[in-house]
Amino acid sequence: MAARPAGNTRLKSARLAAGYASQQALADALGVGVRQVRRWESDAPPWPQPELGQALSRLLGQDLEALGLTSPNGPATDRGRRPLPVTSSAAVGLAAVPPQAVGMLQPASAAVDFGAVTRAHRRLYWSVAPSTLHPSIVAHSTLGCALLLETAGQTRKAVAAALAETYLLAGRIEFFDLRDEAAAEQTLLRALQAAGEADDPLLGAAVLGHMAFVPGWNGRREEAVERMVAARTYARRGDASAELLAWLDAVEAECETRCGNTRTALHLIGHAEDVLAEDAGRRSPEWLDWFSAVRLAAFKGNTQLKAGHYPQARTTLLGVLESLNASEEKQSTVVLGDLAAVEAAAGHPEESCAFALRALTQLEKTWYAMGMDRVREVRRALAPHQHDRCVRELDDRLYGWSTTVSALSR
């Protein structure tokens, strides 16, 4: 049986990311019939009328060519226009790639070589400063977009999968390390579109899970839930491993915690623990290197902290700190910050400052914006004790030349 055509995956991905879960929902927002949206999402999408095209671009946040639509005058590259130059964000490039590549100009080894660099970037993320690594990843994504023009068939799918992972890593750095949510949102959309080009539902689930963080961390619960529903749908299509399913529970728990629903969050974490305990043996993708049972426990400790369960949070987080590998410096800063917050909430300023100082020591070696955010939250919680000697010592470190410059330059 012939494979069913995937259609215009770029527009589908952008529609989903913009919160329009169905073709009908987008049609209603545009004031057109659903048949029109179906045509745009087909293998041969027509170019919309000017006013309708502007509305479509405005709703989905991309120009029409990035949405997989080809102008009657030909794609941008056919008109002699070069792809957009790379800036601080990785969210460029796919607009210049037509939905169907023409010809095969590169051998299959091109996908292997491109993927090897993607894997190297993934490993370097844990040790190289994010501001140093990010430009290399952005440049690599530009190369991937060019390779999509020069490959076809399975080679093109392999390039697209590696490109999706590259965009995902760039988006993770922009969100977690550089704290640039706007750039992360656009980069993750490119990652979702590339995953669609690769027809890789598990990568799609991972990207959508990360996209849920953005609204979830800002209290936009309904939007986060919609993205999590989409992520779980993609995970089912790809027969996801226990680790990936548990991570999706952890992401949703984090979003619920940020929205003040700690009881729901703890229920989700309990479900994730059960999923890991009943692991059916499906192998996780090699790119899923940001999650484990220990990382799940770190999610749990933070939620227990936010729920006011301080003794439980202390026990959980101390266990996480003991179990983390030496290479997990970034995660350790977050856990130390949460332990400092537990002690601050319990009225133990000296213990709180001790954990916060350990976090700062680690941040001087390996910068992580999320870790610094935790320390700053702790310092605000210690305001009633700001004249204590331990808090003043913390301030001396928190506002030292090296720490302050590092924090303000990222």
**Alpha-carbon distance 147 to 105, whole Å?**
9
374-388 per-position pLDDT tens digit: 999 999 999 999 999
Give the amino acid at 290.
W
First and final CA of the chain: distance in angstroms? 53
Cβ(21)–Cβ(232) below 8 Å:
no
- Residues contacting 68, CB < 8 A, separation 6+: 8, 9, 10, 11, 45, 99
Cβ(298)–Cβ(334) below 8 Å:
yes
Give residue 41's pLDDT. 81
pTM equals: 0.80
331-350 per-position pLDDT tens digit: 999 999 999 999 999 999 99
- Residues contacting 207, CB < 8 A, separation 6+: 164, 167, 168, 171, 188, 191, 192, 195
228-285 per-position pLDDT tens digit: 999 999 999 998 999 999 999 999 999 999 999 999 999 999 999 999 999 878 899 9
CATH dotted code for 1-65: 1.10.260
Give residue 201's pLDDT. 96
Instruction: Kindly state the DSSP code that residue 72 receives in the 8-state scheme.
Output: T
Nearest residue to 163 (alpha-carbon basis) of 176, 181, 150: 150
- The domain locations on the chain are 1-65, 106-199, 319-410
